[in-house]
Amino acid sequence: MAGKLEASEWIWRDGEFVKWEEATVHLLSLAVQFGVSQFEGIRCYNTPKGPCIFRLDAHIHRLINSCKIYRMVPDHSIETISEACCAVVEKNNLKNCYIRPMVLRGYGAAGLNPSNSPIETAIPTWPWATYLGDEALEEGVDVGVSSWNRPAPNTFPSTAKSGGHYTNSILVKMEAQANGYAEGVVLGPEGRLSEGGGQNIFLVDQGTLVTPQLDGTLLPGITRDAVFTLAEELGLTVKRKPVARENLYTAQELFFCGTASEICPIRSVDRIPVGDGSVGPITRQIQKRFMDIVTGQAEDSYGWLTPTSGS
């Protein structure tokens, strides 16, 4: 389970490295007041070839797209931000770590018009192991369907990974843990399955992988996209379609996927066991293939890994 954040030494900030404890923002910045920030969560894995970042290019492109939606595109190019992600890992001498590129509106304007507030870019990175815990990856997690729904389409842009959006996920997480669950599962405004609190979700139904279609309520996850690729490689059929809540209770297998959660089995929903309550074979097959690639134990045939050293 994710615990206290472990500080590193350096943070990349608008073209230079600053000390971790000096990377501050004003209390009246728009990022602090109103959550006006766009960000990514990216994993770096230690491989036999050294530290490698998973799907760096896809993450930075999504970051820039989030910024475009909120009209706050940074001065730095995709190439500059990508190179800075590698550089900050190297600068901190990290191996397995989490990278958090952030673009935020700083201190300047009063009110809700952000145009007079500066756009700042920063990239912290820190050591981080499994989000839901090693035991979760092996045995699965217990989850509950949240009473909080995802906002309706055209309320928030679901394709943007924006700081302010995550207040909804925080409510989901707090409720789940108060009810004794590791994580919450969220429905959309019409009562159909959307995603986890901070992850996408897949079901296995009669040997077919099923996941909610992009309907304006869920983030198009980069790990979700990787699961599609691995499923095709493994000869699995994938259906993207509306999923009713009750399908969670009748699925043979369930798993979360995301940068933080990786491929995490779900063993119960609302205290109803998934299948026989153990990790299913398809989930385990996808999980193993995914981890083998990202840790360099198998060939990176999809070009997902970027060495931080450039070698």
pLDDT in tens, 191-211: 999 999 999 999 999 999 999
pLDDT in tens, 240-294: 999 999 999 999 999 999 999 999 999 999 999 999 999 999 999 999 999 999 9
The answer to the question of residue 258 being in a domain is yes
Q: What is the mean pLDDT of residues 83-92?
A: 98
* Residue 112: how many other CB atoms lie within 10 Å: 9
**Greatest Cα-to-Cα distance within the chain, rounded to the nearest angstrom:** 57
| CA 147 vs CA 96, 132, 191: distances in Å | 35, 21, 10
The answer to the question of residue 245 being in a domain is yes
Q: Using an 8 Å Cβ cutoff, are 46 and 95 in contact? A: yes
CATH number of the domain residue 186 falls in: 3.20.10.10
- Tell me what pLDDT residue 134 has: 83
151 or 110, which is more confident? 151
166 and 261 assigned to the same domain: yes
Kindly report whether the global pTM for this prediction surpasses the value 0.75.
yes
Q: Which of 4, 49, 95, 161 is catalytic?
A: 161
Backbone angles phi, psi at 111, to 5 degrees: 85, -165
CATH number of the domain residue 79 falls in: 3.30.470.10
DSSP sequence for 18-51: EEGGG----TTSHHHHH--EEE--EEEEEETTEE
68 and 103 assigned to the same domain: yes
Using CB atoms within 10 A of its CB, is residue 296 exposed (0-12), middle (13-18) or buried (19+)?
middle
Q: What span, in angstroms and rounded, lies between the C-alpha atoms of 167 and 147?
A: 14
How many distinct structural domains can be found in the chain? 2
Q: What span, in angstroms and rounded, lies between the C-alpha atoms of 24 and 26?
A: 7
Q: What is the mean pLDDT of residues 134-147?
A: 96
Q: What span, in angstroms and rounded, lies between the C-alpha atoms of 289 and 228?
A: 12
Give kind and range of the element (H or E) at residue 135: helix 134-139
- Annotated active-site residue 241? The verdict is no
- Tell me what pLDDT residue 207 has: 95
105 and 171 assigned to the same domain: no
CA angle (215 as vertex; 161, 70 as ends), nearest 5:
30
Query: Helix or strand or coil: residue 186?
Result: strand
The answer to the question of residue 302 being in a domain is no
Of 109, 16, 12, 42, which Cα lies nearest the Cα of 304? 42
Q: Measured on CA atoms in the order 132, 258, 231, 47, is the torsion positive or negative?
A: negative
Q: Using an 8 Å Cβ cutoff, are 187 and 245 in contact? A: yes
Of 239, 172, 229, which Cα lies nearest the Cα of 202? 239
Of 78, 95, 127, which one is at a domain's C-terminal end?
127
Of 127, 161, 185, which one is at a domain's C-terminal end?
127
Token reading at 202: 């897949």
What amino acid occupies position 94?
L
Q: What is the mean pLDDT of residues 84-94?
A: 98
Q: What span, in angstroms and rounded, lies between the C-alpha atoms of 300 and 295?
A: 9
- Tell me what pLDDT residue 77 has: 98
Range of the domain at 283: 134-294
Report the relative pairing of strands 262-269 and 141-145 from DSSP bridges.
parallel
- Tell me what pLDDT residue 132 has: 85
Query: Measured in Å, how far apart are the chain's first and last C-alpha atoms?
Result: 33
